[in-house]
Amino acid sequence: AEHQHARYNPLRDDWVLVSAHRVKRPWKGQLEKPPPEDVPRWDPNNPLCPGATRANGEVNPQYEGTFVFPNDFPALQPDAPEPGDSDHPLFRAAAARGVCKVMCFHPWSDLTLPLMSLAEIRAVIDTWAELAAELGASYPWVQIFENKGAMMGCSNPHPHCQVWASSFLPNEARLENRTQRQHLSQHGVPMLLEYAEQEARRKERLVVENTDWLVVVPYWATWPYQTLLLPRRHVCRLQDLRNGERDSLASIIQRLLIKYDNLFEVSFPYSMGWHGAPTGPYLEEDCGHWQLHAHYYPPLLRSATVRKFMVGYEMLAQAQRDLTPEQAAERLRSLPEVHYKQRAK
- In the set 106, 158, 160, 289, the catalytic residue is 160
Nearest Cα residue to 219 out of 4, 18, 43, 2: 18
Residue 76: partners with Cβ closer than 8 Å, 6 or more residues away: 96, 97, 98, 99, 100, 164, 165, 166
147 is in an annotated binding site: yes
Query: What is the helix (H) or strand (E) element at residue 70, kind and residue range?
Result: strand 67-70
171 is in an annotated binding site: no
155 is in an annotated binding site: yes
187 catalytic? Reply is: no
197 is in an annotated binding site: no
265 is in an annotated binding site: no
Integer angstrom CA distances of residue 284 from 34, 41, 242: 47, 45, 21
65 is in an annotated binding site: no
137 is in an annotated binding site: no
320 is in an annotated binding site: yes
Nearest Cα residue to 160 out of 117, 105, 119: 105
243 is in an annotated binding site: no
CB-count burial class (<10 Å; 0-12, 13-18, 19+) for 278: buried
56 is in an annotated binding site: no
Integer angstrom CA distances of residue 221 from 21, 129, 225: 16, 27, 8
Helix 325-333 to helix 243-264 angle (10° resolution) is 100
As beta bridge partners, residue 300 has 307
CB-count burial class (<10 Å; 0-12, 13-18, 19+) for 326: middle
22 is in an annotated binding site: yes
Q: How many CB atoms lie within 10 A of CB 37?
A: 9
4 is in an annotated binding site: no
How many residues are listed for the chain in this entry? 345
345 is in an annotated binding site: no
95 is in an annotated binding site: no
23 is in an annotated binding site: yes
Q: How far apart are CA 168 and CA 182, in angstroms?
A: 21
308 is in an annotated binding site: yes
DSSP state of 19: -
List residues forming the annotated binding site.
22-25, 55, 71-72, 147, 153-155, 162, 176, 275, 293, 295, 308-309, 313-314, 320
Residues labelled catalytic = 160
List residues forming the annotated binding site for Fe cation.
176, 275, 293, 295
List residues forming the annotated binding site for UDP-alpha-D-glucose.
22-25, 55, 71-72, 147, 153-155, 162, 308-309, 313-314, 320
